[in-house]
């Protein structure tokens, strides 16, 4: 069961990691794309349920409604502040956001008494250092704008609440859970789009098709895989494997868009890969 959950989680990370590639070809605002992901992702899950002729388990939804809404708002909260931080600097905003998995590990270890092996602590630290190197945080060109720190940290808070809420959901299927969460995220993102005048003045075919792809596949399919896996995987795996997403982002930037990738970034990517493999092959085996 854990192996299949790991594969689903990795597939979701792969889809997340390729979003940046497709965004290069979209002329719409990032806020509108985020809103489209929430709405279209919800629609996709509803269509899947319809094709399976499955009725929504309203009793399970009502039982978990408060946590579902809170986690959905946390998801939208994460999207809103992460994109707000990107306006001032991607590197620092991403770094602060990717501190969230470490916070999850600390909370689940202290509060939920999840066991963690000493070797897993080493792998987590390796992944964090690798993330620092990957985004070039030690470069003189990267400056810590306080907007990035604030918005990135708020985005991380949203992620922490999201993961912790999912651990408290009971007796609800992944599809139903994801449907409610994505709808709730769309509700919180909508005012943000209106406030920032993010709706497109005109539409073009290529951008529209890409938004449809990002909504149905990179949100609908990805979040089904994501939310159905984080309920099973230990927090240590969620934290360390999650750092594979920025590695994929940077590799696509270097290989497809010929963005510069320095030695420190390559070392950081290698450290994250080694930490991920080490945790899955050694850390979890010992556990």
The whole-number average pLDDT for the span 241-270 is: 81
pLDDT for residue 179: 92
Q: How far is the CA of 69 from the CAs of 30, 162, 166, 196, in angstroms?
A: 23, 10, 11, 24
With 80 as the cut, is the pLDDT of residue 67 above it? yes
Report how far apart, in Å, the C-alpha atoms of 171 and of each of 85, 125, 128 are. 36, 35, 34
172 to 62, 71, 169, 242: CA distances (angstroms) = 10, 14, 7, 24
Q: What is the pTM of this model?
A: 0.82
Task: Kindly tell me if the per-residue pLDDT of 259 is higher than 70.
Answer: no
Domain ranges, ordered by start, for the chain: 2-286
In this prediction, residue 248 carries a pLDDT of: 84
Binned at pLDDT 50, 70 and 90, residue 236 comes out as: confident
What is the predicted pLDDT for the residue at 149? 83
124-163, pLDDT tens digit by residue? 899 989 888 887 766 655 555 688 889 889 999 999 999 8
């Amino acid at each position: 069961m854990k192996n299949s959950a790991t594969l689903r989680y990795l597939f979701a990370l792969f889809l997340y990691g390729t979003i940046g590639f497709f965004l290069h070809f979209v002329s719409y605002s990032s806020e509108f794309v985020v809103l489209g992901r929430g709405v279209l992702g919800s629609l996709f899950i509803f269509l899947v349920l319809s094709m399976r002729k499955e009725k929504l388990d309203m009793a399970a939804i009502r039982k978990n409604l408060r946590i579902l809404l809170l986690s959905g708002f946390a998801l939208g909260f994460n999207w809103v502040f992460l994109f707000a931080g990107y306006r001032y600097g991607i590197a620092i905003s991403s770094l602060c956001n990717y501190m969230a998995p470490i916070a999850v590990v600390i909370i689940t270890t202290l509060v939920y008494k999840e066991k963690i092996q000493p070797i897993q602590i080493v792998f987590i630290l390796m992944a964090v250092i690798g993330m620092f190197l990957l985004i070039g945080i030690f470069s003189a060109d990267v400056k810590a704008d306080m907007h990035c720190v604030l918005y990135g940290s708020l985005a991380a808070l949203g992620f922490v609440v999201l993961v912790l809420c999912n651990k408290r959901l009971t007796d609800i299927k992944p599809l139903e859970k994801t449907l409610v969460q994505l709808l709730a995220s769309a509700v919180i993102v909508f005012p943000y789009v209106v406030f920032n005048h993010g709706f497109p003045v005109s539409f073009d075919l290529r951008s529209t098709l890409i938004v449809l792809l990002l909504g149905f596949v990179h949100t609908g399919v990805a979040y089904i895989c994501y939310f159905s896996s984080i309920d099973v995987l230990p927090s240590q795996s969620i934290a360390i494997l999650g750092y594979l997403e920025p590695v994929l982002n940077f590799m696509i930037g270097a290989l497809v868009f010929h963005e510069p990738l320095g030695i420190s970034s390559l070392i950081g990517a290698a450290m994250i890969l080694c930490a991920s493999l080490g945790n899955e092959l050694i850390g979890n085996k010992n556990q």
